[in-house]
Amino acid sequence: MLVSSSSLMPFPPVTADDTPPEDSIPLEFPELDQQLQPLPPCHDSAESMEVFKQHCQIAEEYHEVKKEIALLEQRKKELIAKLDQAEKEKVDAAELVREFEALTEENRTLRLAQSQCVEQLEKLRIQYQKRQGSS
């Protein structure tokens, strides 16, 4: 979720005819370091007021960007965890395939051994019956 720069500006550029009310501009930004805090304007100077408002807009944008970075970092962690889980499942699946192949081979070997035992048993029965018949 990327934020466009136009959506970050809570205030449009200020013109002489268009001044937002004073209470719409926060005077402090607790998330900013002290040296980045907007300095209070000189209320007698339109230029000072304009610079202050611009600084406040930049501070608001900075705050929004920091929030976006935090959200993206959280999303990154979630995706890494999901990738780790997928890789673990892939390894588990590969192990299951190997185990299945080994068991299939063992099953084939045991069936062959059983078949040979059945044949041998049948031969022994025939021999036994021949001996019983000749005695």
State which residues form the domain around 118: 5-134
pTM: 0.52
Tell me the C-alpha to C-alpha distance, in Å, between residue 133 and each of 64, 115, 120. 101, 27, 20
pLDDT tens, residue by residue, 66-124: 999 999 999 999 999 999 999 999 999 999 999 999 999 999 999 999 999 999 999 99
Q: What average pLDDT is seen over the chain?
A: 84
Domain count along the chain = 1
The alpha carbon of residue 63 and the mean position of all alpha carbons in its chain are separated, in whole angstroms, by 24
**Helix or strand or coil: residue 38?**
coil
